[in-house]
Amino acid sequence: MKYKLLGRSGLKVSELCLGTMGFGTDNGWGADAATSFDIMDEFAGAGGNFLDTANVYQKGTSERIIGDYLANQDRDYFVLATKYTLKDNQTNPNASGNNRKNMMRSVEESLKRLKTDFIDVLYLHIWDDITPIDEVLRGLDDLIRQGKVTYAAISDTPAWMVAKGNTLAELMGWSQFIALQVEYSLLQRTPERELIPMAKHFGMTVTPWAPLGGGALTGKYLKGDTGRVKPESNRRNENSERITKVVMEVADELGVSAGNVALQWMRQQGFSCIPIVGATKLSQLKDNLKTTSLILSDEHLKKIDEASAVPLGFPGDFFKEENVRINSFGGFYDRVEKRS
Ligand SMILES: NC(=O)c1ccc[n+]([C@@H]2O[C@H](COP(=O)([O-])OP(=O)(O)OC[C@H]3O[C@@H](n4cnc5c(N)ncnc54)[C@H](OP(=O)(O)O)[C@@H]3O)[C@@H](O)[C@H]2O)c1
């Protein structure tokens, strides 16, 4: 396992992050506590230190299992990321959302379930389209100053809002978002339009969720295996199956698993990327860890890219047009150093 710096910080995290949404069975699927412990043992044994959870995963059981596990481990070795925002509460209007009141209460509850007195990375889980971004950043910065949280990060939020937040934080001397968590995989490449270029510009690490398309990209459904992705899901529609078949072809040529190819593809896209990989069985994690020793050739990357690319739309595609690019340099297109 190698380590990467998480965004513009000095924090060293393993090149794969372990997704723990499937720790617990409260939602009718997932791994029991004993299997979750085995998965964390295997991950840590391989050098993994980066764990991803959320207050709501398996109704809080994911955090509880991690807390029980960490109680008998070197807590400080792990970089523990959790999230606030979501909560099913029919009586209190402030028990969910991005607001500061919910943020503070949610963190206190997470700390109890996690049996720790600090969270290494706190993500805003999903943008609520209500709370001012300065309220969010100031709240996160206060939690950091209190020592309850070490770094701030953000998930599932429009690029322009994250950009506004980080710019404001820089001006105000507040902690900026260092990581961006978004759904990104060979079955979901639309973050390439705005979110990933934005993250690159701000030096943020992208931490893709569902990098295996919830398991569809392992090819297991095409082989008749079962799992939690429903047949009517867009991860198993005609287009997704066509892409998955290409991934499986490349995997066969290399003698590796299709999941390894899908994970490695995103790690070779030229931006800081740490996939958050889920596993509900120990054998799945063991397979996923092998990704770290795979390198895809340019030829294989091209083949996969051609099968899965999405149009960038406006203005991305417009900027790519040769005449626009050349004209924006006046007569100097060949004489000016281009930024990558
Ligand atoms: N920020 C957000 O909004 C958000 C949303 C979703 C998830 N997340 C985070 O991202 C993590 C990953 O998301 P995810 O679990 O949906 O997606 P994923 O990593 O794409 O898929 C994980 C699932 O794929 C299957 N799988 C994994 N490795 C396998 C292997 N080697 N062979 C065969 N099947 C394999 C398992 O499915 P089965 O259990 O069906 O066997 C596993 O539960 C979560 O744990 C969570 O931490 C964040």
Q: 111 and 15 in one domain?
A: yes
Q: 339 and 190 in one domain?
A: no
Q: 316 and 304 in one domain?
A: no
Q: 334 and 307 in one domain?
A: no
pLDDT in tens, 58-88: 999 999 999 999 999 999 999 999 999 999 9
Q: 127 and 81 in one domain?
A: yes
Answer whether residue 168 shows pLDDT above 70: yes
311, with CB counted inside 10 A (0-12, 13-18, 19+), is exposed
Greatest pairwise CA separation for the chain in angstroms: 66
CB atoms inside a 10 Å sphere around CB 194: 18
pLDDT at 340: 67
pLDDT at 327: 87
4 touches 271 (CB < 8 A) = no
State which ligand 1 atom lies nearest to the alpha carbon of 259. 31
Pocket of ligand 1 (CB under 6 A): 19-22, 52, 125, 155-156, 181, 209-215, 218, 220, 227-228, 259, 276-280, 284, 287-288
Q: 202 and 72 in one domain?
A: yes
Structural domain including 306 reads: 3-311
71 touches 117 (CB < 8 A) = no
pTM: 0.97
- What tokens appear for 9 in the block? 């910080």
pLDDT in tens, 235-259: 999 999 999 999 999 999 999 999 9
Q: 329 and 229 in one domain?
A: no
Summary mean pLDDT of the chain: 97
Q: 258 and 339 in one domain?
A: no
The pLDDT confidence band at residue 163, using thresholds 50, 70 and 90, is very high
pLDDT in tens, 197-225: 999 999 999 999 999 999 999 999 999 99
The pLDDT confidence band at residue 320, using thresholds 50, 70 and 90, is confident
Answer whether residue 339 shows pLDDT above 80: no
Query: CA dist 100 to 84, 97, 138, 145, 321, Å?
Result: 10, 9, 9, 15, 44
Q: 338 and 300 in one domain?
A: no
Compute, in angstroms, the gap from residue 19 CA to the centroid of ligand 1. 7
**Cα distance from N-terminal residue to C-terminal residue, the chain:** 28
Q: 240 and 127 in one domain?
A: yes
Query: CA dist 216 to 137, 233, 248, Å?
Result: 36, 10, 11
Q: 198 and 334 in one domain?
A: no
What angle in degrees, to the nearest 10, is found between the helix axes of 33-45 and 61-70? 50
Active site residue 57: yes
As a whole number of angstroms, the distance between CA 322 and CA 61 comes to 53
State which ligand 1 atom lies nearest to the alpha carbon of 30. 39
pLDDT at 333: 87
Compute, in angstroms, the gap from residue 142 CA to the centroid of ligand 1. 32
258 touches 294 (CB < 8 A) = no
| Averaged pLDDT, 274-283 | 98
CB atoms inside a 10 Å sphere around CB 233: 15
129 touches 96 (CB < 8 A) = no
Compute, in angstroms, the gap from residue 182 CA to the centroid of ligand 1. 13
| Averaged pLDDT, 329-338 | 88
Query: Which of 156, 163, 216 has the alpha carbon at shortest distance from 185?
Result: 216
Residue nearest to atom 8 of ligand 1 (CA): 209
Answer whether residue 142 shows pLDDT above 90: yes
pLDDT at 25: 98
How many folded domains does the chain comprise?
Answer: 2
Q: Say what percent of the chain tops pLDDT 70.
A: 100
- What tokens appear for 25 in the block? 């069975």
Q: 216 and 94 in one domain?
A: yes
pLDDT in tens, 262-271: 999 999 999 9
Q: CATH no. for residue 63?
A: 3.20.20.100
